[in-house]
Structure 1
């Protein structure tokens, strides 16, 4: 069995702070508002040579009709099923809460090792207060401060004593990353859940449900990769809530870290300026891009509709018309798997290397037929082309006047590279060097 540790408890006891400390990075959003962590959140930890996966969960609330709190409860229960060790967190500042007592009833159904983590022990008084949690009658008690890290060493000693295997340092290391991005409410979480065939993230039609960026290990078409679901991104003027600001920052971080950005739009609203901004950011960061036009089931169609929509979008994309567009419906699951297949193809295109001999044999005749415009009476001669090593396609053209090659000719060369070698969904960079 994998080494998996789930952190559970009622809202606001410090679960995300402990999670961030144990994975040694600020991965989960921390805020003193109840319900910030909604989905299960995964990270990697290591102690005494043993590696484990850590799951942060939302605050468990019983007897609430709130749609999110009901969904959070389901997420917590799934995390407890997945885990090999459970950390039940309580708060020494507030003492035993009725929600803690309710949660103990849920924990008693589990046969996993449970450790009672009395958090926020910042003084001797708090340490003394922690003794009252023995009354809950569950788990060995560990007083800790997830803020300062005190007591976490003893806790981890106990946790890793349950693991027979060393575990993997980082099972996701080196895997391609595909981030699912877009405005709120376009269907990103539904897309992920259909792909995974489970309720991996909470889906609701309330805008702003996903607040953290969530990584999931995924296998398809004989390939393994990481899927990242992100919070919906909206215009800065609309980002009022503190937490939402951090969510948008997490989405931008997911964009920075991914190889391919799957940008989802709502076909009933067409391409909006926020969508175009997101596409521009992905291109500037040299990411592969796939555009998913979702809610296609809501569009009235005739035989030309998809063609007209595609042309209209390509026009709006301008020079980025090399981005593939897939029309989907999360409701009918139409072309959902085609979308992810396209994203994998784009990843492979992004890492494609063309040999120098092939580039020169194919492109130099094109350049001879259509040479660069003359600059101040001087002929610009391109002698040699090579693809430089890098995470995204970068081509160097060697010429006698590198500074004087016109931007329009650069576009001509890019179009010729695409015509001969593909690179669908991938930004191409071209530089000119002196020969």
Structure 2
């Protein structure tokens, strides 16, 4: 499991700039579907010798002048609960403020590594002014300019030195890991209890590999499964209940270990921004996804309700067009028994391998049906396709100019692969590589 580094501090001290600087890039939109990527508060940083999850607490809640101290206290408390390392960022140009002092006093009671960072220190004059932050009673102050990169390499070195080793993922051969994720109060706990209460043998529950989930091995149709239950999280205070967006952190950790993700949605409330965020991460991580609409028994229905709700979900989750949708009531048990059957189907699709000969026949047919685009005055030529991985199904297509394959044509080929071979519930990955044509 990746350790977590959280950035805390007042608004406008440069937390997001530091977030992007450590990440090494601005979060780029890599799909043209809404909801897949957006301005994020989370990112996996993998460009250093130790990977970690980076969190920017700045955008979780709207902040007003009257509420500033309260919001800082809440966000910092959440970071304290979830993070392995905390970066406390202050504004070197504005100087030490009462808000900084209050948070620093709280952090002194925490038994976790804390790095105190003074941002917007662009030169010697600001360097001298930053010495006032030693009044916080700390031994070391990191003076940086997140915008220009000044001092950031040294800060990253100290972060890496403090990072705990990532916990290894359990890798029982043949075991399918199933994560139940969703916002608080959508019915995850009830669903988990229903799933484990059906006719299957349940092994002894054991503590998960992270501090905030419970893993339960069980057997269904003679196959081994591991249920990763984010509903079993023990919240450490009312703060966590008020700021539910931090449940995204827990979902991220669960998805890191899962093969298949059940995204639970409240039928009454409909799809929220947080549902989109969590589902977007599942897609980006290459996890198989099943959309589970819970509390279906509470809706007044007619003969068009299912089709209209399905159409709404498909329109909202365009990037999850491959995901099966199941309407259930975890409370009454309605259609819950269909979930594991769907999990079995999706698991088989997730592990499916297509022969190279069948793939290349498909590629030839697709090219005849819709020619590749013209790039730099020449029409692209697709030479060869092969499947290189499962979970998620991944394909490499060799082409004369890989950079010229427009996203729309990539989607066309992806759709052709789905039409021919299915892959229900699974994202598929297409990679294009250059190959010079032999004359």
TM-score range (shorter-chain normalised) is: 0.5 to 0.7
2-structure distance, mates of 1:272, 1:244: 12
Which secondary structure state, in structure 1, belongs to the residue aligned with residue 378 of structure 2?
A: coil
Stretch of structure 1 that moved more, 358-367 or 273-282: 358-367
Aligned to 2:342: 342
Matches of residues 290-301 of structure 1 in structure 2 within 5 Å?
290-301=290-301
Q: Deviations over 1:48-94 (max 9, x none)?
A: xxxxxxxxxxxxxxxxxxxxxxxxxxxxxxxxxxxxxxxxxxxxxxx
Q: Which residue of 2 aligns with 1:61?
A: none
User: 5 Å matches for 1:359-398?
Assistant: 359-398=359-398
* Aligned-partner Cα distance in 2 for 1:319–1:250: 22
Q: Any idea what the Cα deviations from partners look like across 1:226-270, whole Å, max 9, x if unmatched?
A: 01110499xxxx965799898654432111000001110101011
Partner of 1:190: 190
**Shift in alpha-carbon separation, 1:318–1:243, aligned structure 2, 3 A:** closer
CA contact (8 A) 2:230 2:254 kept: yes
Structure 1 residues 232 and 265: CA distance shift in structure 2, 3 A: farther
CA deviation digits over 1:163-220, x for unaligned, max 9?
xxxxxxx89555110000000111111111112228x9xxxxxxxxxx9311111111
**C-alpha contact (below 8 Å) 1:387/1:393 kept by paired residues:** yes
Partner residue of 1:402? 402
Deviation string, structure 1 residues 11-67 (Cα, Å, up to 9, x no partner) = xxxxxxxxxxxxxxxxxxxxxxxxxxxxxxxxxxxxxxxxxxxxxxxxxxxxxxxxx
The answer to whether the Cα contact below 8 Å between 2:183 and 2:244 also exists between their aligned partners in 1 is no
Q: Which runs of 4+ in 1 moved over 4 A?
A: 170-174, 238-248
The within-5 A match list for 1:80-229 is 174-197=174-197, 212-229=212-229
The 3 A distance-change label for structure 1 pair 197 and 254 is same
Please tell me whether the aligned partners of residues 410 and 430 of structure 1 are also in contact (alpha carbons under 8 angstroms).
yes
Compared CA separation, residues 251 and 366, structure 1 to 2 (3 A): closer
CA contact (8 A) 1:383 1:398 kept: yes
Taking a change above 3 Å as real, the CA distance of residues 256 and 171 of structure 1, as seen in their structure-2 partners, is: closer
Change (3 A) 1:320 1:243: closer
Determine helix, strand or coil for the equivalent of 1:315: helix
What corresponds to 2:278 in structure 1? 278
Sort the Cα spacing of 1:375 and 1:420 in 2 relative to 1 into closer, same or farther, 3 A. Answer: same
Distance 1:428 1:290 in 2: 15
Equivalent pairs counted in the alignment come to 251
Q: Please list, as runs of the form range in 1=range in 2, the aligned pairs for 1:281-320 lying within 5 A after superposition.
A: 281-320=281-320
**In the aligned structure 2, how far is the partner of 1:282 from the partner of 1:227?**
16
The 1:292–1:413 alpha-carbon spacing in structure 2 relative to 1, beyond 3 Å, is same
TM-score, with length taken from structure 1: 0.54
Per-residue displacement from partner, 1:376-424 (whole Å, max 9, x unpaired)?
3201010111111243111111111111100010011111111111111
**Is 1:386–1:397's contact at 8 Å kept on the other side of the alignment?**
yes
Partner Cα distance (1:221, 1:334) in 2: 20
CA distance, structure 1, for counterparts of residue 340 and residue 243 of structure 2: 30
Cα distance, 1:239–1:292 mapped onto 2, change above 3 Å: farther
Q: Give the structure with higher Rg (CA).
A: 1
- CA distance in 2 between counterparts of 1:249 and 1:321 reads 25
Aligned twin of 1:255: 255
The runs of 5 or more residues in structure 1 that have no matched partner are 1-169, 201-210
CA contact (8 A) 1:179 1:254 kept: yes
* TM-score of the pair, normalised by structure 2: 0.53
Distance 1:226 1:257 in 2: 10
